[in-house]
Amino acid sequence: MEEPYILKIVRVTQQHLEYVQRQVVEEYPLKLRVNGRELATLICSPHQLNFLVVGFLRLQGFIATLDDISALGVCHEYGQAEVLLRTSLPERLQPTLTSGCGAGIAFNLPEKLVNLALQDRQNYHCESLYRLMKDLQGLAENYQRHGGIHSAAVGDDRGLLLSAEDLGRHNTLDRLAGEALFKGLDLRGKMLVTSGRISTEMVAKAARLGIGLMASRTSPTDKAVELCEQAGMTLVGYLRSSSMDIYSHPQQLKLQDE
């Protein structure tokens, strides 16, 4: 990842003023053109943009595998990504402005996710979930340095598989989806932990990946709880080192002594 901007700021501590150097996260607009059509501008962090673009297309339902892409190019200098798909885009796309950081865009947001999410009941363990969030926090280097960055990770009982950072919480899921395609990883039935609020579009993205459990350090929205109930996904909020709130399908999450 590129180094963020460094600015001179004024810091006030107990009525004492001083000038200090402060790192500031970079906000990077990436114009996405698909089959010659301007599809969206992704407001993101400027690293590993191939993961972001491919994951975005995957979670919008435009591609399923890397074979669906005939060409992909990213020009960092001009902030533009060009993608050629082997299939055509739908004639009419209805973008939905999401509630996420960076004014994310989602197309074809499903109202019901029953057929998208994992249907088989899973057994997850609290200790594994605690460990996964702890591992994510340990990797959140950029947040520790200057704040303003969201992070997310996918793992299972054996540990963390993938992690991503971005100024947009939705972008972190797109990055995970893209990297999983590049690395040939199947994320069905895995656990996903995130630093950001879980809303409906976050659930939709996780459901497309077959995620069976989502967890956050903060809260979910009411509609996110409803969609997780429909999709058979366990939803956890306020995950701390030894406590959590379970909002849906608690039967899939087991205590150590159960």
Catalytic one among 44, 101, 126, 228? 101
Q: Which token pair is 90?
A: 């739908």
101 is catalytic: yes
How many residues are given for the chain? 258
Q: How far apart are CA 27 and CA 202, in angstroms?
A: 21
Q: How many CB atoms lie within 10 A of CB 134?
A: 14
β-pairing, 213-216 with 234-237?
A: parallel
Q: C-alpha distances in angstroms, 196 versus 24, 155, 163, 218, 257?
A: 19, 17, 14, 6, 30
User: Residues 62, 116, 64, CA angle at the centre, nearest 5°?
Assistant: 30
Q: How many CB atoms lie within 10 A of CB 150?
A: 25
Do 104 and 204 contact (CB within 8 A), yes or no? no
Q: Which token pair is 36?
A: 């010659």
Catalytic residue numbers, as ranges: 101
